[in-house]
Amino acid sequence: MEKINVGIIGLGGIAQVVHLPLISKMTNINLHSVAELDKRRLSAIAENYNIKNTFTDYTHMLKDKDLNALIITTPTNTHCQIALDALNAGKNILVEKPVARNYEEAKNIKEAAIKNEKIAMVGMNARFRPDSMLLKSLLKSGELGEIFYIKATWMRKQSSDQKWFLRRSDAGGGVVLDLGISLLDLALWLYDFTPVKGISVQNFYHTTSSVEDSSIGLIKFKDNKIFSYDVSWSIHSERSSFALAVYGTKGTAYLNPFKVFRKIGGSNLDISPANAASTKNLFKKSYENELKHFFGAIEDPENLISSIDDSLDRMKLIEGIYKSANLEQEIVFNGS
C-alpha cells in the first residue's frame, strides 16, 4: 500500500503535543504538508520535522493533488469553512472536537462529505483510550448485566489560553464544548446511542462571562437509562481529574483507573484484568489509536468510527443542553 500523504492545518498545542510526533513515527504515513498563520512557528516545526511543503494560507495547500488527508486543529470558529474547503477539494478530513460551533455548521460539513464522497471524522479520542475500548467490550459481553446508569466527571484547566476560547461567538460554548462533549460522546457510545428523552442542565459562570466555566447535567434515555456529568474549569482540583463509572444489574466498572466489580453471591468481587488499572500513556495512546483508525478508514470507509454523522447527533444534543441551561428547566428532547 502506498503511503498516505497527510497535511495538518493549525500548529497549536494539540498538533505539537500529539499529531506531529505521532504521525512522524508512522511508517505508512507521509507528513506531507503543514499550514499555519504564525510564520515563526511554521518555520520551526517544518524544520524540526523536515516538512518541505509549508503554507500560511491553507487554501494553497488544498491545490496539491498528492495530498490524501487533512487534520484540522485550528480554532473552532474556523472549522466549518476549512472543512468545507477541504472536502470540496477532494480531501478526507479529521477535525478535532468540537467539530464546529453549532449544529448548522456540523450539518454543512456532513452534506459536503456526502457530496464529495469523502470521509469526515471528528476527534473524539476518549473512545479510543485502551481502557474505554476494554470497557466497551466488557459491556457487550453482558458481564455487568443491564447497564442503567453512567456518571462522569472532569475537572481541569481550560484547553486553551487564547482569547478566542472564551468568546462564545468564536468557541461556540465553554466547558461543555471543551470537556463535556467528550464525556457525553463516551457515554452515548457505551449506551450504543440509545435515544435521549430528557435533558436537565445547570451552567455556571463563576470566572467567565461569555461562556460557562462549570456545568452539571442529567440526561435521561428512552429505556430508563441515565447519564449524569459534571465538568469544570474553575472547581478546585489538585490535578486533572477524569473519571467515569458504569453501573449494571450485575456489577460496576470504573475508568481512570480501570476497575471491574461483579456481584457474586452477595459480594462485589474484583474481576479487573491484570495490569488494566494503569493510566500511564493513555492520553497519547488514545490519539495514536484515533489517528490509525482515521488513516485506515481512508482505505475502508465503511467501518469509520466517530463520523460526522455521530457528531451531528452530538451537536443537536449540545443544543439541548444549552437550551435546558438557559431555560433553567428540564426539556423534552426528540432529536429533531
pLDDT in tens, 45-99: 999 999 999 999 999 999 999 999 999 999 999 999 999 999 999 999 999 999 9
Q: Any alpha helices (H) in the chain, and if so which ranges? A: 13-14, 20-24, 39-49, 58-61, 76-88, 103-116, 130-141, 168-171, 175, 181-190, 282-299, 308-327
Task: State yes or no: pLDDT of 9 exceeds 80.
Answer: yes
Strand partners, 72: 9, 95
Q: Which pLDDT score, from 0 to 100, does residue 90 have?
A: 97
Task: Say which residues have a Cβ less than 8 Å from residue 4's Cβ, sequence separation at least 6.
Answer: 28, 29, 30, 68, 69, 295, 298
Grade residue 273 by pLDDT with cuts at 50, 70 and 90. confident
End-to-end CA distance of the chain: 42
pLDDT at 336: 60
pLDDT, tens digit, for every residue of 25-57?
A: 999 999 999 999 999 999 999 999 999 999 999
% of the chain exceeding 90 in pLDDT: 87
Across the range 218-240, mean pLDDT stands at 91
For residue 230, CA distances in Å to 171, 244, 266 come to: 20, 11, 31
- Running DSSP on this structure, what letter comes out for residue 225? -
- Ordered by where they begin, the domains of the chain are 4-124 (3.40.50.720), 127-288+314-332 (3.30.360.10)
Of the chain, the percentage scoring pLDDT greater than 70 comes to: 97
Peptide bond into 130 cis (omega under 30): no
Q: How confident is the model at residue 102 (pLDDT cuts 50, 70, 90)?
A: very high
Contact indicator for 67, 32 with CB cutoff of 8 Å = yes
Whether 278 shows a pLDDT value over 80: the answer reads no
Q: What is the pLDDT of residue 268?
A: 85
Whether the model clears a pTM of 0.75, i.e. scores above it, the answer is yes
CA–CA dist 75, 190 (Å, integer): 29
